[in-house]
């Protein structure tokens, strides 16, 4: 029996509807969540992503301060722009779109963001809070994965979770979040990577398998057990002469084969992807509430 598809677009739409209602309530109290975005240069993928964020902010009623800067901006000028946003009370969240041009020091820029406005969840202060289980901003893609699981009725507590991938953006933070002693965690987590021996032996033990390796067809049908829940974080371009652009997007999972064994599975595109911007908006609203001294419901 083929797997049930986890529709990331629908889950994201549901969350955005909730956020839109929450923003409307905050505005009645005189609180307007604000997101400051910095885009340096003309990278097409980054421009498309930022444009999508702008539209999402407009739809939800979030104030958006968009700054599109020249690719030859100096480190000092960029740092000053971040400092200005740190000091701007209208801005609750700051997003510096990566990657930056090679002459700029990304680490220095990210470190300069006020941790209380770090809605990407990349600042070491927020990473440390995540690890020890304190309240902070959770990174958007890993948190989006957890929301997909919870809102699809998947039981995380006690589950054997196998993550394939150990990046600082997905693998490592997701593992930390899933082992936390709280309602979104309590799983037993195994992290696999390029040096893992007999990867298939590890993945076949998974109740929940999360693929974040960045390589198409890393997970094949013989590597999963019947009834597994599969979350595919990968986004890869493969050549396809039948497509107008000459390529199509696929995940890290052999979707057509694995879906015949899985209980639940995310597609690519339309799975994890829509959740990332949604969780950025979620963090921005949370930041506005914290700045106003309001306690969030957990």
Q: Report d(CA 52, CA 69) in Å as an integer.
A: 18
In the three-class reduction of DSSP (H, G, I as helix; E, B as strand; rest coil), residue 109 is classed as helix
* Residue 158: both structure tokens together: 């006690």
Yes or no: say if 78 and 109 are a contact pair by the CB < 8 Å rule.
yes
* Residue 184: both structure tokens together: 């979104």
The rounded radius of gyration (Å) of the Cα atoms in the chain is: 20
Catalytic pick from 53, 172, 259, 289? 53
In the three-class reduction of DSSP (H, G, I as helix; E, B as strand; rest coil), residue 65 is classed as strand
Q: Minimal CA–CA distance to 63: which of 71, 73, 53?
A: 53
Phi-psi region for residue 176, left (φ > 0), alpha (ψ -120 to 50) or beta?
alpha
Is 53 in the active site? yes
Verify cis geometry, omega within 30 degrees of 0, for the bond prior to 99: yes
Catalytic pick from 81, 118, 120, 252? 120
Q: Report d(CA 231, CA 224) in Å as an integer.
A: 12
Is 14 in the active site? no
Is 202 in the active site? no
Catalytic pick from 81, 97, 172, 232? 97
List active site positions. 53, 97, 120
């Amino acid at each position: 029996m083929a797997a049930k598809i986890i529709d990331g677009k629908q889950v994201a739409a549901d969350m955005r509807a909730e956020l839109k209602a929450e923003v409307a309530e905050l505005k009645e109290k005189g609180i307007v969540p604000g997101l400051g975005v910095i885009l340096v240069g003309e990278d097409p993928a980054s421009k498309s992503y930022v444009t999508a964020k702008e539209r999402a902010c407009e739809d939800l009623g979030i104030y958006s301060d968009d700054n599109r800067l020249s690719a030859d901006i100096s480190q000092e000028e960029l740092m000053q722009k971040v400092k200005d946003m740190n000091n701007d009370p209208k801005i609750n969240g700051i997003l510096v779109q990566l990657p930056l041009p090679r002459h700029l020091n990304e680490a220095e820029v990210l470190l300069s963001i006020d941790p209380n406005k770090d809605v990407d969840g990349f600042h070491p202060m927020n990473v440390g809070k995540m690890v020890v289980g304190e309240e902070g901003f959770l990174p958007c893609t890993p948190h989006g994965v957890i929301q997909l699981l919870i809102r699809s009725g998947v039981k995380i507590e006690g589950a054997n979770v196998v993550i394939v991938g150990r990046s600082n953006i997905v693998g490592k933070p997701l593992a930390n979040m899933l082992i936390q002693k709280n309602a979104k965690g309590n799983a037993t987590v195994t992290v696999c990577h390029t040096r893992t021996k007999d990867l298939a032996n590890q993945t076949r033990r998974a109740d929940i398998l999360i693929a974040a390796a960045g390589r198409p067809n890393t997970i094949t049908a013989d590597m999963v057990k019947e009834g597994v829940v599969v979350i595919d974080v990968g986004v890869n371009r493969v050549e396809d002469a039948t497509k107008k652009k000459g390529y199509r997007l696929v995940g890290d999972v052999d979707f057509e084969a694995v879906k015949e064994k899985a209980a639940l599975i995310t597609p690519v595109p339309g799975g994890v992807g829509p959740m990332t911007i949604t969780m950025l908006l979620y963090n921005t609203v949370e930041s506005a509430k914290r700045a106003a001294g309001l306690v969030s419901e957990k």
